[in-house]
Amino acid sequence: MTSQLGQIARLKTNLRQFGKFGTLVKNCQTVYSPGEHITIDEQLLAFRGRCGFRIHIPNKPAKYGIKIMMACDARSKFMLNAIPYLGKYTKNAVDV
């Protein structure tokens, strides 16, 4: 249980680093009104630095990075919302 609480605390700290990313997402939501067709997409941003939620996908050209889940307008490909993938959660994990 203590290790889960420590992991959640680390994830909250890592999320605070996404302050500018959150601002980008809010700006995308305010300046664009989506069409009727929305798609969910994932993107791996290449990153080899130290990060608690960096992932490794061996069959991608950039094998290490930060995975981002996005909701995009299907026609214009404009990003409407995005969240970084922070790893697996257990049933008892609290929302960050």
Q: For the chain, what are the domain ranges?
A: 2-84
pLDDT value of residue 60? 82
- Predicted TM-score (pTM) of the model is 0.61
pLDDT value of residue 85? 80
CA 63 to chain centre: 17
The whole-angstrom separation of Cα 88 and Cα 90 is 7
Q: How many residues does the chain have?
A: 96
Given a cut of 50, the residues of the chain with pLDDT beneath it are 1, 90-96
Q: Tell me the one-letter amino acid at 37.
A: H
Residue carrying the six token digits 């995009």: 72
pLDDT value of residue 91? 47
